[in-house]
Structure 1
Amino acid sequence: MTDQRAPLDPVSAAIVDSGLVAVLRAPTADGFAAVADVLVAAGITALEVTLTSQGALEAISGLCRQLPATVMVGAGTVLTDDDAKAAVDAGATFLVAPVSGLGPQSVPFYPGTFSPTEIHAAFQAGAPLIKLFPAGGLGPGYLKDVRGPLPGVRIMPTGGIGLDDIAKWLTAGAVAVGLGGPLIGDAATGGSLTALAARARHAVDAVAFARS
């Protein structure tokens, strides 16, 4: 089993360093530009735009132009190789899926897994980070148990993780966490950006606390 401290590609290494991926999902991507500005100002530097949001590809292109080069803009809910190609053509620097099964990609791909068998298969296939999804119902204890026999995997739990759960997951061995609704709330559909900023700062502080 490869040691968890083995070198990563620059994008995956930056995500691990940040500890957070903000998952942007809404009926349309119209509000993502404003949301992204707030998240980045709070210190969140990895954004996942889900392809289920209408206008997602255009949003990815726009965010790549809008945000500093140090911010990684990726695509989520990537289900087919055609999805992956379209997202990369739009500027996505990483790809995330709720499932596994895609072929090799030109940018880092983080497949979704649930069981130890799926996690190990994704690791054997060379996934730099492995998404544990949906993670909320499993809990940090599950991750700790899985990492006993599989210590070299880099797992990013996503789905149903609250702001107050961030430190627990990181302490259990997660290299980063994906945060959707509990972080974004209704900010992408006209909700308070001030409240979003407070949640984002809470998330960034939680990572710092867990790693202190």
Structure 2
Amino acid sequence: MEEIDTVNLVAHHVQRWRFRDRSGTLPAGRIVLRVTEDEKQWWRFECCRIEGGMHCISGSAWNDFVGPRVHARLTRYAKQDGENFNRVRIIPFFSKLADSLSHALTTWPEREVIVQYTYPIWGAEEMAEIGTVTLATQHAAEWDVDTLFPNVFTVAVGSRRFRFRCRPHGDRYRICGDEWRGFVGQNRGAVVTLYAGEGDNATHRLEVRR
């Protein structure tokens, strides 16, 4: 099956999940996705295309689905020929932990193995995606996202560190400030994706693609 995207569900995904359709099979308009894991239980999610070539799933059915599955890993796959639904795979947090521990014990059977995880266990390279935008002139003043940050927060771009500001704006949150303005000026036209770190004083990650 062709994978559309994978996400480690965290609290802010209860409201919506923004993702990039790697399969290129989702239409541009607003649709209802019919989804199953085992063809026994079914869900119907509202989905639409948003800026930056991204798609967004939201709505009450999505809220109810994510709530009890926070911290699980969700993978969604493209439709197969002759099917009018998408398949998903859900790996609960403790299942992932057990698999990793089992692998460690199998790999080093004659050694004492200490497994220590920094939560979430699947690592910084799979941090929760907050949003993607193609930087343009208007973004020098601000970029609105759905995730609440501290008034001043730290972002890593490769080996560099920036301190951006954030303030509420309606029902969203606005990234702004002098360092943000300078960053946009140097990277205008680039596609940037922001990933959330964990914890109150976390360093978040910003990926830049030109």
Class of the TM-score when normalised by the shorter of the 2 chains: under 0.3
More helix by share: 1
More strand by share: 2
Which structure's CA Rg is the greater one?
A: 2
TM-score by length of structure 2 reads 0.27
